[in-house]
Amino acid sequence: MVLTLTSDFNIPQMKTSKIYIVAVLLLSLASCSKELDDVNVNPNATENAQPDYLLTGAIKNTVDAYWGTTNNMNSSLLFAQQWAKVQYTEEDRFIYSNSSFTTLWSTGYSQGINSFNKIIEQGNATGNSNYSGVALTLRSWVFLLLTDAYGDIPYSQAGNLKDFITPAYDKQKDVYFGLLDDLKAAKAQLDPAGNSISGDVIYNGNIDRWKKLANSLRLRIALRIADREPAKAKQVLDEIAAEGDAYLADNTDIAQLIYQNSPQQNPVSAVFETRDDYRISKTIVDKLFSLTDPRLSIYASKTQTATPTEYVGLPNGLTNSEASNLGFAKTSRPGAYFLAPLSPAVIFSYSELLFDRAEAAARGLTSDNPATLYRQAILASLKQYGIADAAANAYADQPALQYDAANYKKSIGEQKWLALFGQGLEAWTEVRRLDYPQLTASVNTVLNGQIPVRFIYPGTEQSLNGQSYANAVANQGPDVLTTRLWFDVK
C-alpha cells in the first residue's frame, strides 16, 4: 500500500521553508533579555514582529516539541507502549531526572504561550479577531498539553512577566475550567466573514475549521473532567449543542502540521536520519496481529532480516544487553509513513473526535448512539491511512471489535489507543484516563511495577520559582513520576 501525504494549504515548499526560518529567528530574537531590549531600542524600527510570522514560528516550535524526541519518542510513546527502545534503553526503564522533562515546559511557555499572547494582543489592537481567536485556541492546546503532563501548572499568571516573575501554579481542575472558558471565547472571536489571516500552517486561514477545532478541544477537556465533574462536562456539551457550531466533520478537518523537506522535516524523520534507537512496541504489534489490523503495515516496517512474521515488535523495558541480543535487524522500526520527512504531526484527528463523541454518549452526556459513533471512529482511523472501504468495514465487522456497552471504556480505550499511534502525549493521557488498554511494566523498570503517570517538573522551577513549586507539590503530591493527577481517577 502506498500512502500519499497531502494538504489543502497550498504554500509552496520553498516559500514555506523561508517562512519557518524567518519565524524561528524572530522568536529567538524575541527571547532576548529585557536589559538588551532597553539598551538596543531602534526608534525607527517596528516594535512587534508581524503576527503571521509569529504564528508560523509559534506553531512550528510548539509542534516540534510535541512531536519530537523528549516529549514523544523518549517518554510518552514508551509509556503508552506504542514504541520501545532498542539501545540506550534507560528511558524505557523509566530512569529519569528532574532535567528530563524541561522541553515541553520551556518551549510551551517561552515559544508557545508567550508568542500566542503577543498574537492575541496584536489581533485585538488591529481589530482582527481571527488572529486573536486562532492564537487563543492554540494557546489553550499548549496549556492542555502542559497540565495533562505535569498536573498543576502556572496558568492564570503565566506569560505576564511584567507582573508575575514567579507565577503561581493553578490547580489542574482550575486550569481545565479556565481553558473551557478560553476556548468558548476563542470560538466566539473566530469569524469566517471577518478579516483574513496569514502564517497559518495548519488550516491555511480556514476560520470555519478553527471554530471546529475550538469546539473539539472543548469536548476533549469535557471528557478530561468527566470522572470528577460530570455535571460540568454535560454543561459544556449542552452549551456547544445550543451554540449550533460543528465539531471536526471528516478527515479533511484533521488539525495537523504537514512538514517540508529537510531542514524543516518531521522531527521523527530527522532523528532517524542519524540514529536508530527506536522500534515499534511488541505490545501494539501483538494487538494489531490479533485483530488482523490493516494498519500494521503502516505503523510498522518489516524487519531488515527475514523473519516468519515480517513484523516484530520489541518488548518495552529491556536492559541494554537484552535489547542488543534481539538486535536491530530482527525487530521492526516504526512504519515508513511515520519516518517520511513530510509526515504530519497530528494535533486532533477526526477519529479521535468520533471516539470522544462516542464516550460522551456512553456516559449519558449526549443523546447520540455510542455504538454507531464508535464504529465510525474506527472507520475514520483506517480511512485516515488510506485503507479501502471494503477492508475497513471487514475489519470493523469482527466480533472482537463490537462495542461493549457494559464496558465502554475498554471498547473505546483499546481502539482509541490504536488510532492515536504516534501521538504519544495524547495516547498516554487516554490510557491513564480510560485505564485501557491495561499495560504491564517490565520487570526491569525502576518504579516497582508502575508506569509513569506524570512528568516531573523541571528542576529549574525549584530554584527560580521555589515557593510556587512548593505550593504545587503540597497540593498535588510528591514531584515524582507515580503521583496520580487530578483527572486520573481509578
pLDDT tens-digit map of 120-166:
999 999 999 999 999 999 999 999 999 999 999 999 999 887 888 99
Name the maximum alpha-carbon separation found in the chain.
Answer: 71
Closest by alpha carbon to 448, among 8, 94, 151?
Answer: 94
Does the pLDDT of residue 486 top 50, yes or no?
Answer: yes
Closest by alpha carbon to 318, among 48, 476, 102, 81?
Answer: 81
Query: Residue 334 pairs with which residues in a beta bridge?
Result: 300
Does the pLDDT of residue 38 top 50, yes or no?
Answer: no
| DSSP strand pairing (169-170 vs 153-154) | antiparallel
Q: Which residues, including other chains, have CB under 8 Å from residue 376's CB and lie 6 or more apart?
A: 354
Q: What is the pLDDT of residues 259-292, one digit of tens each?
A: 999 899 999 999 999 999 999 999 999 999 999 9
Q: What is the pLDDT of residues 60-91, one digit of tens each?
A: 999 999 999 999 999 999 999 999 999 999 99
For residue 195, what is its C-alpha cell? 478579516
Cβ proximity of 152 and 169 under 8 Å = yes
Query: What region, left, alpha or beta, does residue 485 occupy, with left being phi > 0 and alpha being psi -120 to 50 degrees?
Result: beta
Does the pLDDT of residue 1 top 50, yes or no?
Answer: no
Mean pLDDT calculated for residue range 446-461: 97
Query: Residue 154 pairs with which residues in a beta bridge?
Result: 169
CA angle 57, 58, 63 (to 5 degrees): 100
Q: Which phi and psi (to 5°) does residue 255 adopt?
A: -85, 115
Question: What percentage of the chain exceeds 70 in pLDDT?
Answer: 90
One-letter amino acid at 233 equals A
One-letter amino acid at 350 equals Y
Cβ proximity of 456 and 101 under 8 Å = yes
The pLDDT of residue 47: 54
Q: What is the pLDDT of residues 85-133, one digit of tens each?
A: 999 999 999 999 999 999 999 999 999 999 999 999 999 999 999 999 9
Query: What region, left, alpha or beta, does residue 127 occupy, with left being phi > 0 and alpha being psi -120 to 50 degrees?
Result: left
Query: What region, left, alpha or beta, does residue 241 occupy, with left being phi > 0 and alpha being psi -120 to 50 degrees?
Result: alpha
Q: Which phi and psi (to 5°) does residue 202 adopt?
A: -105, -55
Q: CA–CA separation, 38 vs 427, rounded Å?
A: 44
